[in-house]
Amino acid sequence: MNKKQLTCIVLFLFSLTISFSHAQQTLSVEKIWKSFEFSKKGVNGFNGMKDGEHFSKLNRSKDSTTITIHTYKNYKGEGKVLLSSKELMYKGRMIEVDGYEFSADESQLLITTETTPIYRRSFTANYFVYNFKTKLLSPLDETKSESTLAQFSPNGKKIAFIFQNNMYIKNLEDNSILQVTNDGKQNEIINGTTDWVYEEEFSITKGFEWSYDSKKIAFLRFDESQVKEFNIDYFKGKLYPDKLTYKYPKAGEDNSKVTALIYELDSKTTKNIGLTNYEYIPRLGWSPNQNILVIQTLNRHQNELNFYKVDASTPAYTTTLFFSEKSETYIDIDDNNMFILPNGKELVRTSEISGFKHIYKLGFDGKQTAITSGNWDIIELYGLNDKASIVYFASAEKGAIQKGVYKIGINGKNKIALSNETGYNSAQFTPGMNYFVLDKSDASTPNSYELKAENGKVLAVLEDNQALKEKLKTYSLTKKEFIEFNGPAGKLIGWMMKPVNFDSTKKYPVYINIYGGPGHNTVLNQWGSNDYMYHQLLTQNGYIVVSVDPRGTQYRGAAHKKATYLNMGKLELEDFIATANELGKLGYVDKTRIGIQGWSYGGFMTSLAMTKGSPTFKMGIAVAPVTNWKYYDNIYTERFMRTPKENIQGYEDNSPIKYAKNLKGKYLLVHGTADDNVHYQNALEMINALVQANVQFDQFTYPNRNHGIYGGNTRNHLYTMLLEYTLNNL
């Protein structure tokens, strides 16, 4: 045997060893949900500096914290240290920086520390101010250590913040603190921040805005005294549980009475804007160069959105309605609704009035013109450049599963892609919109983050998750295939994951993972993180995993999204059943072993599928489900269903509680007792109906866990149970 032959044999044996080693890598729930071996790395947020060419970055390690300054054009990872651990010492201890904000002239820093979550977006925190000129670090107010939403005034001389439902202003020149409101009270009056349902369904907690001249603050006042209370017990080893009592307006019940006010700092007076004929005030903002406040109102049915301008330049405010949009169904409210232009006379917004969500320019004179058009939906509106001549956005132009980043002239011309148009791409733009961080992934590739110039040129790769990509190569993973199913009213978009050693001559059980509700698609060409790896684990146990977006989901136009209006659950169930029937026709699917699983809205649909949809599915796992929409909050529910009095049939005909007696397959119901969103009440009412119908089922409760059901070993325990239940029953 010559040397060359020996070398070939050695290399061959080495390759066999590597292949065998790779084949031995097996997935487990513990790897996914306990040690989190497949978690992607992200990129810390960039705080853009006012010159548009530099940014600051928070760097934390075990022993030190720094804030560094970098240039976008020449970013190499190293930067000039702006603030180090020694400057963060206060009374002998180093404060831990959770976040920070510069004053307008960048001479001061507002630091957030000891952040404590309340609900999904709300929190309390301690705040400190660092002055770069004096080199002093001082607390915002030591007597109000659990405040929230602190923000510099535009001139940097004051800070507004909320403490115990009241608004305060600190004067940084003399350190005095002014109390703007004094009627704030837990579960009664809220000033400057929002109630639970605004936070959850309008995605806002900050209920105030500084005027650009720093002389006024517009703020919302919530009177929630007539809103009914809900109680949640927390069991923590005590003889008696702790109790959370908060205001939660269920469908058809009273809302907070919300008013819009303006506080004038010079005169120390508060004025009521005097709006009438509305239920909600979802957004407000000041014109940059005029003393004009723009404010939106929405009626209870959420199908009439009004835009008002409030002229606050004279003592007698003048409020004028300048635009109104109406819909036969509902109008979505999000952060795409109001970008006020520098000229102070126009704004940019999105609307579905054409049948698809597009970008419009709206003048304060009421004239609206389209900037984008076509049979595709805008996903996200990022903003405009300093000259307000270019608009930046993300859309599903290449299909509902894709997200691309684009720019277009405000005149609707010269649209240019700034990212791949396929896969899932998101952007975080810097002040001035000259640079952005692109977050990109696809169904098979973890996220990577690139720093890009406004023209799309890559300046630096910030994180490519290469270590995770290499780890994934040591596992035998199956491909996620995007497919279509024939639904009752047209094609349904879905994906399928088959076992690695798939054999078309064999019969496989199918596990259908769903959500199905408005505003959340599960079928996206996007890295699925831990959920994706759990689905890979199912395929390694011999299951085909499928997901499908039914009617009512988004990015396919308003008609598709709003088809479920007044009947949430009805058409979605028809589509899920049709999908199961289509799967049953495939030669490699065991049609007697099709299961379904979902969380939240997906739990609602799973429960409905196992009862009203019986006997289509052999097994169903419902996590934190709504079981009748009358138990859910009014802003979300009434947007799609109106009130129970107006639509009792829509509420009852698609409640799984009504069909409890029809349950035939194996059904597992999982819920957390401290779920402030979908109350545990939903599970208890479903349980009661099943007991009364003498139907056997399986149920598991997580004490003190909220809607996310996490913390400590919780997720590992949950998914171990879900896997075992699936292996034993499907």
Residue 23, pLDDT > 60, answer no
Mean pLDDT of 277-294: 94
Residue 413 sits at φ, ψ, to 5 deg, of: -115, 160
Are 495 and 629 in a shared domain?
yes
Distance between CA 37 and CA 465 in Å, rounded? 12
Identify which of 623, 591, 637 has the alpha carbon closest to the alpha carbon of residue 701: 623
Is 500 buried (19+), middle (13-18) or exposed (0-12) by CB count in 10 A? Answer: middle
End-to-end CA distance of the chain: 55
- 507 and 450 in a single domain? The answer is no
The predicted model gives 59-70 an average pLDDT of 87
Nearest-5° angle of CA 682, CA 686, CA 691? 145
User: Are 61 and 160 found together in one domain?
Assistant: yes
pLDDT of residue 358 exceeding 70: yes
Alpha-carbon span 582 to 549, nearest angstrom: 14
Average pLDDT on 495-520 reads 96
Model pLDDT, residue 471: 96
Element (H, E) at 68: strand 65-71
Do 108 and 146 lie in one domain? The reply is: yes
**What would the two tokens of residue 420 be?**
């791949």
Summary count for the chain: helices (H), strands (E) = 12, 45
> 711 with 567, same domain?
yes
Mean per-residue pLDDT, 316-321? 94
- Whether 24 shows a pLDDT value over 70: the answer reads no
Average pLDDT over residues 373-393: 95
CA angle 403, 406, 410 (to 5 degrees): 135
The per-residue pLDDT for 699 is 98
Tell me how far apart the alpha carbons of residues 202 and 196 are, in angstroms, rounded to a whole number: 10
Q: How many CB atoms lie within 10 A of CB 179?
A: 11
Hey, how many other C-beta atoms are within 10 angstroms of the C-beta on 543?
22
What pLDDT score does 45 carry?
66
Average pLDDT on 85-96 reads 91
HEC string of 346-361 equals EEEEEECCCCCCEEEE
Does one domain contain both 91 and 115? yes
Would you say residue 15 has pLDDT above 70? no
Q: Assess if residue 68 is contained within a domain.
A: yes
| Tokens encoding 509 | 């059980």
The encoded tokens of residue 570 equal 């009805």
Taking Cα atoms as reference points, which of 133, 161, 137 lies closest to residue 148? 161
Closest CA to 390 of 410, 414, 416, 364: 410
Which tens digit of pLDDT belongs to each residue from 562-585? 999 999 999 999 999 999 999 999
* pLDDT of 341: 94
pLDDT digits (tens, 9 = 90+) for 595-630: 999 999 999 999 999 999 999 999 999 999 999 999
Which of 424, 455, 471 delimits the end of a domain?
A: 471
**Number of other residues whose CB lies within 10 A of the CB of residue 248:** 23
Read off the pLDDT of residues 527-564 as tens digits, 9 standing for 90 and up. Answer: 999 999 999 999 999 999 999 999 999 999 999 999 99
Residue 64 pLDDT: 85
Query: What is the strand order of the sheet 99-102 is part of?
Result: 99-102, 108-117, 123-131, 136-139
**Does 27 map to a domain?**
no
- The Cα–Cα gap between 541 and 537 comes to 6
When pLDDT is averaged across residues 36-56 and rounded to a whole number, the result is 88
**Contact indicator for 95, 113 with CB cutoff of 8 Å:** yes
- Report the alpha-carbon angle 656-660-664, nearest 5: 110
Q: In this predicted structure, what is the pLDDT of residue 6?
A: 43
Q: In the prediction, which pLDDT does 9 show?
A: 43
Predicted confidence band of residue 272 (pLDDT cuts 50, 70, 90): very high
Residues 529 and 631 in one domain: yes
Of 291, 317, 333, the one marking the end of a domain is: 333
How many domains does the chain contain in total?
4
Look at phi and psi of residue 516 and say left if phi exceeds 0, alpha if psi is from -120 to 50, else beta: left
- What CATH number is attached to the domain comprising 89? 2.130.10.10
Would 451 be classed as within a structural domain?
yes
Which one, of 276, 296, 275, lies nearest residue 349 by Cα? 296
Please report whether residue 8 resides in a domain: no
For residue 363, give its domain range: 338-442+445-471
Query: Residue 374 and residue 377: Cα distance in Å, rounded?
Result: 8
Residues 43 and 161 in one domain: yes
**Helix, strand, coil percentages in the chain from 3-state DSSP, rounded to 5:** 20, 35, 45
Long-range CB contact pairs, 180-185, < 8 A, 24+:
180/217, 180/219, 180/263, 180/270, 181/221, 181/270
Stretch among 259-263, 383-387, 509-513, 650-654 having the lowest mean pLDDT: 383-387
Token match 């307006």: residue? 249
pLDDT tens-digit profile of 182-224? 999 999 999 999 999 999 999 999 999 999 999 999 999 999 9
Q: Are residues 171 and 190 in the same domain?
A: no
Q: What is the pLDDT of residues 69-79, one digit of tens each?
A: 999 888 877 78
pTM for this model (two decimals): 0.94
Residue 229 near residue 187, CB atoms below 8 Å: yes
Residue at a domain's end among 280, 309, 333:
333
pLDDT at 25 (0 to 100): 86
pLDDT score for 27: 96
* Number of neighbours of residue 112 by Cβ within 10 angstroms: 21
For residue 22, is pLDDT > 50? no
In a domain, 29, yes or no: no
pLDDT digits (tens, 9 = 90+) for 440-451: 999 999 999 999
Same domain for 715 and 586: yes
Confidence of residue 103 (pLDDT cuts 50, 70, 90): very high
CATH of the domain at 661: 3.40.50.1820
- pLDDT at position 14, please? 44
Q: Is residue 538 part of a domain?
A: yes
> Does the pLDDT at position 431 exceed 70?
yes
Q: In terms of Cα–Cα distance, which of 663, 654, 576 is closest to 618?
A: 663
For 153-170, write each residue's pLDDT tens digit: 999 999 999 999 999 999
Q: How far is CA 286 from the centre of its chain?
A: 25
Strands 346-351 and 47-48: unpaired
Q: Please report whether residue 33 resides in a domain.
A: no
Same domain, residue pair 83 and 107: yes
**Rounded distance between C-alpha atoms, residue 139 and residue 35, angstroms:** 38
Distances (CA, A) of 311 to 262, 274, 276, 280: 11, 12, 17, 21
Question: Is the residue at 627 inside a domain?
Answer: yes
Q: What's the pLDDT at 419? A: 96
Token pair 């232009």 in the structure block, residue: 341
Which pLDDT score, from 0 to 100, does residue 39 have?
95
Same domain, 289 and 148: no
Parallel, antiparallel or unpaired: strands 208-210 and 189-191 = unpaired
**Distance of CA 547 to CAs 121, 241, 610, Å?**
29, 40, 17
Query: For the chain, what is the mean pLDDT?
Result: 94
CATH number at residue 420: 2.120.10.30
CATH number at residue 288: 2.140.10.30
Alpha helix segments (H runs only) across 133-241: 196-201
Peptide bond between residue 550 and the one before it cis (omega within 30 degrees of 0): no
Distance CA 438, CA 286 (A): 29
CA distance 209 to 216: 9
